[in-house]
Amino acid sequence: MNKEYLKTIYYLLKKEIMAYFNSPIAYIFIGVFLVVGNFLFFKNFFLYGQANLRPYFDLLPWIFLFLSPAVTMRLWAEEKKSGTIEFLLTLPVSDWQVVVAKFLGALCFVVITLSLSFTLPISVAFIGDVDWGPVIGGYLGAIFLAGSYLSLGLFISSLTKNQIIAFLMALVACFAAFIIGADFVLYGAPQIFVPLMKFIGLGSHFSNISKGVIDTKDLIYYSSFIFLFLWLNARVIEARAWK
């Protein structure tokens, strides 16, 4: 991978990030994320009587479940609908460069949004003693989980030119990928499938990291999940280019 290859990804990434902040949708997304997250957390915070951010990190997967498809639904669907994908595919860039740039642009946007919520643990730290291990683990897990949602949503967006369909399909797919390893699902599953379901479920890996237990197997799983759907995304775009 040479310097020019990375520079191309950088320029494409810069274009994607600027596209977010040149639109009011970005600020609406950030506002909804912060307001909903803070409201749901503080609604019951003082009833617990503890400086514990665990309830907040329990909420994040469900908030991202709706917001991540909203971020990815336009990334390919809009390109297809407007016809700009044809121009994009004629540029001297590889399909993989475009896919990676779109993914990193979406991930950077989500990370920026998530970083704005760091005022939450700081505020709670003024009230009581915060265990920073689970907080750091929670944010790290949230980034990997969001990356997984985004890679899946980006792949689904490449399959259709309708943004609403892309949103709904990504929402269903992300929900299924998250809950397949949840305890309430495993209770009713045949025991022979339980270990496999727990392993492939996004939620079970997030639960481990958000407790402050950062295991390399969880990080490898998320990285593999993300790579798989980015690779599939590139194959879809490649097939369209051949057509």
User: What pLDDT, on the 0 to 100 scale, is given for residue 39?
Assistant: 86
pLDDT at 48: 64
* CA 133 and chain centroid, separation: 22
The letter for the amino acid at 65 is L
| Domain span holding position 184 | 3-242
What tens digit of pLDDT does each residue of 36-73 get? Answer: 888 888 877 766 666 678 888 888 999 999 999 989 98
Burial class (CB in 10 A: 0-12, 13-18, 19+), 129: exposed
pLDDT in tens, the chain (243 residues): 577 788 888 888 888 888 888 888 888 889 989 988 888 888 777 666 666 788 888 889 999 999 999 899 888 777 666 666 666 666 777 888 889 999 999 999 999 999 999 888 888 888 777 778 888 888 999 999 999 999 999 999 888 888 899 999 999 999 999 988 877 787 877 888 888 888 888 888 888 888 777 888 889 999 999 999 999 999 988 876 545
Amino acid at 117: S
Is the distance from CB of 4 to CB of 89 less than 8 angstroms? no
Among the listed residues 198, 152, 192, the one whose alpha carbon sits nearest the alpha carbon of residue 175: 152
Q: Look at the block and give the residue holding tokens 């775009």.
A: 237
Rounded-to-integer distance, Cα 32 and Cα 34, Å: 6
- Looking at residue 163, its pLDDT comes to 87
Are residues 208 and 129 in contact, defined by beta-carbon separation less than 8 angstroms?
no
Helix axes 163-179, 202-210, angle to 10 degrees: 70
What local confidence, expressed as pLDDT, does residue 210 receive?
82
Q: Could you read off the pLDDT of 221-241 as tens digits, one per residue?
A: 999 999 999 999 999 888 765
Task: For the chain, give percent helix, strand, coil, nearest 5.
Answer: 80, 0, 20
Name the residue among 195, 167, 188 with its Cα closest to residue 67: 167
Q: Is 88 helix (H, G, I), strand (E, B) or coil?
A: helix
The DSSP secondary structure of 126-166, one letter per residue, reads HHS---HHHHHHHHHHHHHHHHHHHHHHHHHHTT-S-HHHH
Q: Are 140 and 209 in contact (CB under 8 A)?
A: yes
Structural domains in the chain (count): 1
Q: At residue 207, what is the residue type?
A: S
Both tokens of 170, joined, read 């990504």
